Structure 1
Amino acid sequence: MSETIVYAVITLGGIGIVAAVILYFVSQKFKVYEDPKIDVIADLLPGANCGGCGYAGCRALAEAIVKAGSTEGKACPAGGSNTNTQIAAMMGETATESSPRRTIIRCNGSLENAPHKYNYDSITSCAFAHMSGAGESACAYGCLGLGDCVKACKFDSIAIDKTTGLPLVNHDTCVLCGACVKACPRNIIEIRNIQENNAVWVSCMNKEKGVDAKKNCKVACIACRKCEKACEFGAITVENNLAFIDSTKCTACLKCVGGCPTGAILTLLKA
């Protein structure tokens, strides 16, 4: 009986040793080398995993930077300039100062400007309401006010203003990750480079004819082309019943802002 146990122990021990040797050589053969810089860069990143950089998460961004050997086109919006400067230095580069950006809401259809005509009583989701119909104001292009953008923001930087019924962005805490932009089914949220020449935008997305647009919202773009005619630089065109401002041509003269009969054009600049 004791000899059987001894033989069993020796056999199993031998099998274990052989298996360990095989596993060692297999692991050496197929091991994947990971640059230690990845861990260092990942630790510098905020760990928000917001996807604002265009990658699946902070570690994915770190891997992309190390693999490319450069930070060009690979910035972390949540980390800000300090984080990006540190990562650039880690890669032996000098961080280039990015243009200031700001999250804007391209809809001014507040509860006052676009009064409710219907009562929506269903799932509290902009995406669902968008598929269900035009919304309570009857504007098929305006903000639905149900807060998909609020739910998408991991930094509590956006909220639905109870007075206006529109999203209100806290620019002091907004990291420009773009999660709210992706969450909006009507594409009314935009992250814009805020410089003197593009701090002017049309705060309306309605592509209906002017009469129909004005029925639902008194500050809607009515495609009257007054802004287009007022612009001496050819920066404004009207397509599909909606004015569009080309920021590469705009000189921020603000004639369009003052000339818009419905007040659909907004600006951060002082007239």
Structure 2
Amino acid sequence: MINTAIMIIVVLVSVGTFFGVVLALADKRFAMEVNPLIHEVEDILPKGQCGACGYAGCAKYAEAVVEDENVPPNLCVPGKAAVAEKVAELTGKKAEAAEPKYAQLKCRGTKTAAVMAARYEGIHDCAAAKLIQGGPKGCKYGCIGFGNCVRACPFGALSMGADGLPVVDKAICTGCGKCVSTCPQALLTLQSFAAPVQVACSSHDKGPVAKKLCQNACIGCGLCMRSCEHGAIKIDRFVAVVDQEICKTCDNPTCLAKCPTKAIQELVAGCMMKEVV
């Protein structure tokens, strides 16, 4: 019995050693040389693995921008202009200027402003909570508040505020868009630092219903639209929508004073505004 066990062990070790040697030789025989420039480019990328460039991680983008002449050097959104210039220098390409952006929440349904429709006792995950009658809040368009976006941010730019809504640190936010794709309510957007205002509401309920469910809701009254001298605001399914490209030209947003629920918020870019000038 002991001899049989020893023989089995010897056979297994021998087979394992044989295949190990075969795989090692095959790896050496068929190994492909990697362009060292790819590693140089990858080293200067921020390693957020956010996918904002359109590739599956920094390594894949580094490979693509080095080997494909049609891939521009400014696709790394978190790296901004500084990284784009370095990648362009290494690859011999021209880095076109890219407008920096940051994540902005289109909801003001705080704990005190929004009505709760039910008590949720499941796992604190926005997507999971949404499966149960659209979430615990009365407004089914609002922020569920369980922090999926916060956990998804690879740069630590988001945190949950005391009012139950995520807070974006604009000084840290790179505009990678990871939180945008994570939010099951589609409440986070990438905003230009040059944009003066945004409608902080996404409810498509009619005015009286929206106001009943959230004190800060847009009621679709149209006062902002009629007061805008540039025609930048439209009402779409009972909620105001701002055309940011038009809105950028406005230096005196009269819509702020006209909104009865203050659903339209002034956007203050702070220190990051210097990058746009």
TM-score band by shorter chain is 0.7 to 0.9
Residues 180-199 of structure 1 mapped to structure 2, 5 A cutoff:
180-195=179-194, 198-199=195-196
Amino acid in structure 1 at the alignment position of 2:61: L
Map 1:85-234 → 2, pairs under 5 A: 85-162=85-162, 164-195=163-194, 198-234=195-231
- Cα displacement (A) at 1:73: 6.9
- Residue aligned with 1:87, SS: helix
Note the C-alpha offset of 1:33. 5.4
SS in 1 for 2:235: strand
Query: Displacement, 1:48?
Result: 2.3
CA distance in 2, matches of 1:229, 1:157: 36
Q: CA deviation at 1:82?
A: 2.0
8 Å contact from structure 1 (residues 116, 136) kept in 2: yes
Name the amino acid aligned to 1:229. Answer: R
Q: Which range is displaced more, 146-155 or 93-102?
A: 93-102
Give the conservation status (yes or no) of the 8 Å contact 1:61–1:74: no
Cα offsets for 1:11-37 (capped at 9, x unmatched)? xxxxxxxxx9xx89x95xx76554332
Q: CA deviation at 1:137?
A: 2.7
Deviation at 1:160, TM superposition (A): 0.9
Aligned to 1:82: 82
Counterpart in the other structure of 1:265? 264
CA drift at 1:42 = 1.2
TM-superposition CA deviations, 1:156-200 (whole Å, max 9, x none): 2211112x10001122222222111111000111111221xx231
Q: How much does 1:226 deviate?
A: 0.9
Q: Deviations over 1:194-230 (max 9, x none)?
A: 21xx231111100111111111111111111111111
For structure 1, the 5+ residue unaligned runs are: 1-19
Q: Taking every aligned residue pair, what percent have the same amino acid on both sides?
A: 35
Structure 1 pair 248–73 and aligned structure 2 pair: CA distance change class (3 A): farther
Aligned position for 1:9: none
Please say if residues 73 and 94 of structure 2, whose CA atoms lie closer than 8 Å, have aligned partners that are also in contact.
no
Counterpart-to-counterpart distance in 1, 2:181 and 2:135: 19
Amino acid corresponding to residue 132 of structure 1 in structure 2: I
Residue in 2 aligned with 1:7?
none
Letter in 2 for 1:59: A
Return the letter of the residue paired with 1:99. Answer: E
Give, as a single letter, the amino acid of the residue that structure 1 aligns with 2:87: I
Please list the CA deviations of residues 72-114 of structure 1 after superposition, one character each: whole Å capped at 9, or x if unmatched.
Answer: 3742123233222111111223433322312111101111221
Q: Unaligned regions of 5+ residues in structure 2, if any?
A: 1-21, 270-277
**Relative to structure 1, is the Cα distance of residues 172 and 266 closer, same or farther in structure 2, using a 3 angstrom cutoff?**
same
Distance in 2 separating the partners of 1:99 and 1:48: 19
* Equivalent AA in structure 1 for residue 262 of structure 2: G
Is 2:73–2:95's contact at 8 Å kept on the other side of the alignment?
no
Preserved CA contact (<8 Å) 1:51 1:57: yes
Query: Normalization by structure 2: what TM-score?
Result: 0.80
Bigger Cα displacement from structure 2, 184-193 vs 116-125? 116-125
Task: Give 1:239 shift.
Answer: 1.4
Shift of the 46–177 alpha-carbon distance from structure 1 to 2, 3 Å rule, reads same
SS in 2 for 1:248: helix
Match of 1:12 in 2: none
Partner of 1:66: 66
Q: Deviations over 1:121-172 (max 9, x none)?
A: 112110011121233331100000001111112222211112x100011222
